[in-house]
Amino acid sequence: MNVGVLNEGCKIENRVGLNPSGVSLLVEHGNTVYVQAGAGLKSGYSNEEYSDLGGKIVFTKEEVFGRSDVVLNISPLNEEECRLVKKDQILFGFHHLAVSRKALLEELLKKNVSIIGYEIVQDENGDLLFIESLSEIAGQMCLAISGQYLQTSFGGHGVIIGGVVSVPPATAVVVGSGVLARSAVRSLLGAGAHTIALGRYMDRLRELEEMTSGRLITLFASNYNLARMVKIADILIGAVLRPGEKAPIMITRDMVKSMKKGSLIIDLAIDQGGCIETSRLTTLEQPTFVDEGVIHYCVPNITSAVSRTSTKVLSNLVAPCLVEIGEMGIEQTLKEKRSLARGVYVFRGNITKKNIAERFDLDYKDINSYL
């Protein structure tokens, strides 16, 4: 099997689809890996590191798509990349089709592709395997981001997260109760923040309380409770995730207006549209903006800021899957690896997620009908 690794630097993406260790694993099992020159540089991997472990360096995206059966991307494919996709290719990456454009999706469907989205790969317990792993990183980053942007010199209202003797800690409000929320809560509590989580699933809220030995305050995420809690928040984290769907708006503009001036919003759901009405996409180069007097951090590829760690996590997850596909083929792998099957958006030109088909008014065929 031929596997292609794209250089996504032009999309302000620092991560890469495979690290040299992942390339080595695939080559050991008889696969050929084409790595676009410079793909790993922002994650600290040189072209020589890839070639020394058996990767073949190519110099254009056209070569990557033209030579590969499977193409690995991180950020969703852009128009140029969609045009380069060839018939029957398998595409692995963060695709976020729920917030994609219909024209791009239709172009890919015509090419009979199969699309596997890291963001919806899910085991039998409902755990999102890729998101779970990256959430550990994102949660720790929330702490670093908060510490920076609450500083007066960055426009924040000048509070320290953990407080000091005679001065109370910052108040962090986390909206959500899933994997993203869990990681953010763990990091903020560990730093000493007064932390409150609001969610709509009582079993998950109970798990959060048990995980924190009762140190976390939990509330049902009614509009009434949300409106009350955002008023006292120094840090507001949107951590609502619905796999494969557009994020619902949980925090309205009116709620944001009631927040303290110089407080901070981190919208971790921005990859899927954002869960805060005032949110809009930002980049790692220009990560923040101010709206209603509140600092907003809305970077979709947040873990790209720590690209080496994130790349290692992604590579450790995807490389074994690719080895199995190379040995057994895509159909047999999906039959035996049901978590990967749940991550299939499109299989051989047919949409396999009902919500995506309904959103774009396109035909739908369940993945199980193939397996």
Q: Kindly list the catalytic residues.
A: 96, 271
Residue type, 59: F
Instruction: For the beta carbon of residue 300, count every other beta carbon within 10 angstroms.
Output: 24
- Please tell me whether residue 369 adopts helix, strand or coil conformation: helix
Q: Which string of DSSP letters, residue by residue, matches 99-140?
A: GS-HHHHHHHHHTT-EEEEGGG-B-TTS-BHHHHHHHHHHHH
Q: Using only the alpha carbons of the chain, give its radius of gyration.
A: 21
Q: Which residue has the tokens 């035996």?
A: 336
Q: Hey, what long-range contacts does 145-154 have (CB within 8 A, 24 or more apart)?
A: 145/264, 145/266, 145/297, 146/170, 146/172, 146/188, 146/235, 146/264, 146/266, 147/191, 149/264, 149/288, 149/295, 149/297, 150/234, 150/235, 150/262, 150/263, 150/264, 154/295
Q: Checking DSSP bridges between strand 56-58 and strand 70-72, what pairing results, if any? A: unpaired
Helices (H) and strands (E) in the chain, counts: 14, 15
Residue among 25, 45, 32 nearest 4 (CA): 32
- Please tell me whether residue 157 adopts helix, strand or coil conformation: coil
Residues 216, 218, 223, 227, CA torsion sign: negative
Q: What are the structure tokens assigned to 148, written together? A: 């920076």
C-alpha 58/C-alpha 4 separation (Å) is 10
Q: Going by C-beta distance under 8 Å and a sequence separation of 6 or more, which residues neighbour residue 367?
A: 334, 341, 342, 344, 347, 352
- Please tell me whether residue 238 adopts helix, strand or coil conformation: strand
- Neighbour order of strands in the sheet with 194-199: 217-220, 194-199, 171-175, 235-238, 264-267, 294-297, 288-291
